[in-house]
Structure 1
Amino acid sequence: MKAGPLQLGVVPPANRAIAILDFFLRPIAIVGTLASAIAMATTNQTLPFFSQFIRFRAKFNDLPSFTFFVVASSIVSAYLILSLGFSILHIAKSNLVNSRVLLLLLDTAAMGLLMAGSAAATAIVQLAHKGNNKVNWFAICQQYNSFCKRVSGSLIGSYAGVVVLILLILLSGVALSRR
Structure 2
Amino acid sequence: MKSGDHAAIDVPESSAVAKGKAPLIGSQREQKSGVNKGLGIADFLLRLGAIAAALAAAATMGTSDETLPFFTQFFQFEASYDDLPTFTFFVIAMALIAGYLVLSLPFSVVTIIRPNAVAPRLLLFISDTVALTLTTAAGGAAAAIVYLAHNGNPNTNWLAICNQFGDFCQTVSGAVVASFVTVVVLVVLILLSGFALKKR
TM-score interval (norm. to shorter): over 0.9
Q: Aligned in 2, Cα 1:53/1:21: closer, same or farther, shift over 3 Å? A: same
- Stretches of structure 2 that go unaligned for 5 or more consecutive residues are 1-21
How many angstroms does 1:6 deviate by?
3.6
Which whole-Å deviations, capped at 9, do the CAs of 1:35-59 have from their partners, x for residues lacking one?
1100000111111445476311111
Percent identity reads 48
- Tell me, which stretches of 5 or more residues in structure 1 are unaligned? none
Partner of 1:12: 33
TM-score (normalizing by structure 1):
0.93
Deviating above 6 A after TM superposition, structure 1's stretches of 4 or more consecutive aligned residues are none
Out of 99, 105, 119, which is 1:98 matched to? 119
Determine if the alignment matches structure 1 residue 77 to structure 2 residue 98. yes
Could you tell me which residue of structure 2 aligns to residue 46 of structure 1? 67
Higher radius of gyration, 1 or 2: 2
How many Å separate the matches in 1 of 2:185 and 2:199? 21
**What is the number of residues matched between the two proteins?**
177
When normalised by structure 2's length, the TM-score is 0.84
Q: Residue in 1 aligned with 2:138?
A: 117
Which residues in structure 2 correspond to 1:1-179 (within 5 Å)? 5-6=24-25, 12-51=33-72, 54-179=75-200
SS of 2:144's equivalent in the other structure is helix
Paired with 1:52 and 1:70, the residues of 2 have a C-alpha distance of 32
Instruction: In structure 2, give the amino acid aligned to 1:32.
Output: A
Deviations 1:79-102 (Å, cap 9, x if unpaired)? 000100001111000111111111
Using CA pairs under 8 Å that are at least 6 residues apart, name the structure with larger relative contact order, 1 or 2.
Answer: 1
* Larger deviation, residues 143-152 vs 50-59: 50-59
Q: C-alpha separation between the residues in 2 aligned to 1:116 and 1:160?
A: 14
